[in-house]
Amino acid sequence: MRSPATGGGAPSRTGLPAVPRSAVVMGVGGWLPPDVVTNDDLAARLDTSDAWIRTRTGIARRHVAGRGTAVSDLAVEAGRRALASAGGPAVDAVVLATMTPDHPVPATAPVVAARLGLDGVPAFDLAATCAGFVYGLASAAGLIAASVAERVLVIGAEVLTGIVDPRDRSLAVLFADGAGAVVLRAGHDEPGALGPVVLGSDGARDDLLYIPGGGSRARAGGLPAGTGGEFLRMRGREIFRNAVERMAESSRRALEAAGWKTGDVDRLVAHQANARILAALGDELEIPADRRPSTIEHTGNTASASIPLLLAETVADGRLRPGHRVLITAFGGGLAWGATTLVWPELPAGH
């Protein structure tokens, strides 16, 4: 079965055009801020070690935004690279997935659009934590299917170092900063077209990853200032277990909806949360290690940025090539998760 965004075409009963349109990837780009923090740098100020971090997470180093750098700065760089990779098309909508916006109000996407010279286009933020990029793909497919937009820039960008308590060793070693983006255009059943997108959420488990302060719940509850309520809290082991289960389940559903088997998958492009999660997911889906590209060793966990960063890096170094059948999946706090498929296309400007 095809989703409304990807297939079919029934005769119009209204006189309006009734041709469902696919959302087709036509460009990809990533941006990592230049400053790098190694495990040894962290071990110099926290009770941790390079060996613990590598063994438990697969991370060796990570990029961090310097002082004065906000998420819009990273998003603009990634957006610029994705637009260049797409051959510099006119884009008529911008979706920014982030859990670290420049400000609580207003949204950051309009600022990013304006700085990219896209003044006047619809632009909005999307809050789905580490699953934000997959939710962003689904939103872009919807905008295209509804003829709101012909071409959509979807960006995932995070400055997670700003919401992690630098004294919290379990989170400070894991989360980092970065941005990635894709450009999608209206198209048909062709390479680059997103397959059916599967999304899900479970708000009953919102306590597994959350920030207590800064929102209306904290204001209603009178959370006192200075109690650390501005920092991320995570129940790591439960998030770990849910991540593997939910990504595996949504991947299976997305594959089934696309008419693919796991053996058809050339590249598993999964949210880069932790190397052990990626290994467990790959084993669960029986996708061999050489089909599971990863950036986690040098990026850490960049939440909504991790999938487009992985796409951009693997296109650039040739690990992802035209014709590869790609399974994308992500999971994060919310809880929120999702998966989709595509055949990787030739990009107008290469990589």
Binding site for ligand UT7 (CB under 6 A): 48, 52-53, 56-57, 130, 169-170, 173-174, 209, 236-237, 239-240, 243, 273-274, 277, 301, 303, 332
Pick 130 or 198: Cβ nearer ligand UT7: 130
CA dist., res. 64 & res. 71, Å (int) = 11
The minimum distance between CB 103 and ligand UT7, in angstroms, equals 23
For tokens 């909504």, the residue is: 304
CA dist., res. 179 & res. 46, Å (int) = 26
Pick 152 or 270: Cβ nearer ligand UT7: 270
Pick 52 or 260: Cβ nearer ligand UT7: 52
Contacts of 326 (CB under 8 A, 6+ apart): 265, 266, 267, 269, 320, 341, 342, 343, 344
Residue 274 annotated among the catalytic residues of the structure: no
Residue 130 annotated among the catalytic residues of the structure: yes
Q: DSSP 3-state assignment of 152? A: strand
CA dist., res. 184 & res. 174, Å (int) = 30
Pick 157 or 257: Cβ nearer ligand UT7: 157
As given in the structure block, the two tokens for residue 43 are 């071990």
Instruction: Say which of 39, 63, 301, 324 is annotated catalytic.
Output: 301
The minimum distance between CB 190 and ligand UT7, in angstroms, equals 32
Instruction: Say which of 130, 242, 274, 324 is annotated catalytic.
Output: 130
The minimum distance between CB 170 and ligand UT7, in angstroms, equals 4
Measured in degrees and rounded to the nearest 5, phi and psi for residue 190 equal: -155, 165
Query: Regarding beta strands 35-38 and 198-201, do their DSSP bridges make them parallel or antiparallel, or are they unpaired?
Result: unpaired
The minimum distance between CB 119 and ligand UT7, in angstroms, equals 33
Which residues are registered as beta bridge partners of 29? Answer: 181
The minimum distance between CB 75 and ligand UT7, in angstroms, equals 19
Pick 169 or 252: Cβ nearer ligand UT7: 169
Q: Assign 3-state DSSP to the chain and report helix, strand, coil percentages, each to 5.
A: 35, 20, 40
Instruction: Say which of 63, 242, 271, 324 is annotated catalytic.
Output: 271
Residue 139 CB-density burial (10 A; 0-12 exposed, 13-18 middle, 19+ buried): buried
CA dist., res. 233 & res. 209, Å (int) = 6
Pick 113 or 303: Cβ nearer ligand UT7: 303
CA dist., res. 171 & res. 120, Å (int) = 38
Q: What letter would DSSP give residue 12?
A: P
Contacts of 138 (CB under 8 A, 6+ apart): 5, 197, 199, 338, 340
Residue of 177, 178, 193, 69 lying closest to 141 (CA atoms): 193
Pick 55 or 147: Cβ nearer ligand UT7: 55
Residue 298 annotated among the catalytic residues of the structure: no
The minimum distance between CB 237 and ligand UT7, in angstroms, equals 5
The minimum distance between CB 48 and ligand UT7, in angstroms, equals 3
| Residue positions annotated with a catalytic role | 130, 271, 301
